Amino acid sequence: MDMSEKSSRITRPATCVICGRQANGYHYDVIACKGCKTFFRRMYLLKPQLECKFHKDCFNLKTIKFSAVNSVISLGQPYLRCRSCRYQKCIDVGMNSSAIQNLEDSIQPSNREISKITDSSENIKTLHSIEIKNQGVIEMLTYLETKLEEFRESAYIPKWSHISGLEDLLQSTCQFSLAEKYGPMPEWTLKKNTRTTTIQIPISERDSKTRNIRSPKIWSLCNALIATEYIKTYTFFHKLSAKDQYTLARYAILTCINLQVSYFSICHKFECCIQPDGAQEPERDEKHYSMAVMSIHPLIRCQIQLVEYLLLKAIYVCNPGKDYQLNYLILTNKIISAVPDLSQDSQIILSNERRRIVNVLFDHCLRKSKANGPARFSELLGIFHVFERQQKMQRDYYLLCIAPILPKSLENRIGFLHEIMSFESKL
């Protein structure tokens, strides 16, 4: 290759115009790194209410000192932590929001494009579009889980008096922003850096270290509140009528709690139900302990990973139906509901959303292992029968052993929890 050919090559962009780190190309019409590209796309789709806590110039690159290798010396305060300034900088430098493909829209070539391309190139484009959409779903669920954990580990302490009932909570604004307002809870037993997405066999002996920890939070209330806020974040949920939102939430909240606590526990290598402050709830000597840990052992047995956990939880929110009907439902696209009294329109909405998330899970399993992907997919879906049996046992125990002896005043006080535990599904 001669010198003229070398000089004719286009030089690859070196510096991200937003954060100053190493760029890897043009994204949404500007020179940017992958981090800023993903950040802009996520912020545009979520449209959160952002506000700078400093001087609204956190991303003024003139005030940032760089090292010799063109990377930021300090990534902390407030650089790269202020989402408001970062998003505004993306807009100011000209990032094009119209270039963002909405994840919920189908990506289909136009008739004119179809006439100009060969069958092979059309298949490549379709596969690439599916990959982009599936990765986008995983990114959104990962980001949502991060916000959920921040809220769960925050210093905000909900009280029973703060919540009048499930219906009012479903109509209220999202409360995840309270995590930023209150900040993380200081001096908790379990620190954030102990979390891992690679599951190992828990050490039973560690259970004793969690006993007799006095928690400032009422975890039964806190976890129910978080599960409710989680369900409210889904776009499809707001397409349902208010009555169907209430019915679906009562059905799904309990299993979302069980999944959340179980996955958090095994990430910290416990086989009991552990909370972020290190408290064990319930403890081994409590009657309903065996019910609470039912969902932990299947997750350990199948060595569940973060993406699989996120997709399973999303599928369950979409009302999977009876566990033994799940595979039939997925393969035939039939509408089978385990939730009584859902309207036909809502069942169709849930069926479409469930099919979309199930396809993402199947694609993820195939990408991990083409040979064992289908078997892994079936193994993960097989866990659903445990979730259904667990929530039925928990609700039966509450209705038969706890509710009859509750004083009326206490029942009214914990009405939000009573609404969840007194729900009866078609099992």
The mean pLDDT of 37-66, rounded to a whole number, is 76
Q: Does pTM surpass 0.75?
A: no
Tell which CATH classification among 1.10.565.10, 3.40.1360.10, 1.50.10.100, 1.20.1250.20 matches the domain 137-421. Answer: 1.10.565.10
Looking at 162-166, 187-191, 194-198, which range is the least confident one? 194-198
Higher pLDDT, residue 350 or 54: 350
Confidence (pLDDT) at 188: 64
Q: Of the candidates 217, 314, 196, 216, which has an alpha carbon nearest to the alpha carbon of residue 259?
A: 314
CATH class of 11-102: alpha beta
196-235 burial, b at 16+ Cβ within 10 Å, e below that, comes to eeebeebeeeebeebeeeebebbbbbbbbbbbbbbbbbbe
Tell me if the bond preceding 282 is cis, omega within 30° of 0: yes
C-alpha distances out from residue 299 to 25, 122, 252, 367, 395, Å:
40, 39, 19, 21, 22
pLDDT bucket at 254, cuts 50 / 70 / 90: very high
Q: What is the mean pLDDT of residues 242-252?
A: 92
Are 150 and 183 in contact by the 8 Å Cβ rule? The answer is no
Which residues are registered as beta bridge partners of 72?
66
- Residue written as tokens 């139900």? 273
List pLDDT tens digits, range 333-367. 554 556 767 888 988 899 889 889 999 999 999 98
Least confident of 54-63, 164-173, 282-291, 416-425: 54-63
Residue-wise pLDDT tens digits, 121-164: 444 445 557 778 888 889 999 999 999 998 988 888 888 888 88
Distance CA 252, CA 255 (A): 6
Residue 197, pLDDT score: 34
* Domain extent listing, the chain: 11-102, 137-421
Same fold, 11-102 and 137-421: no
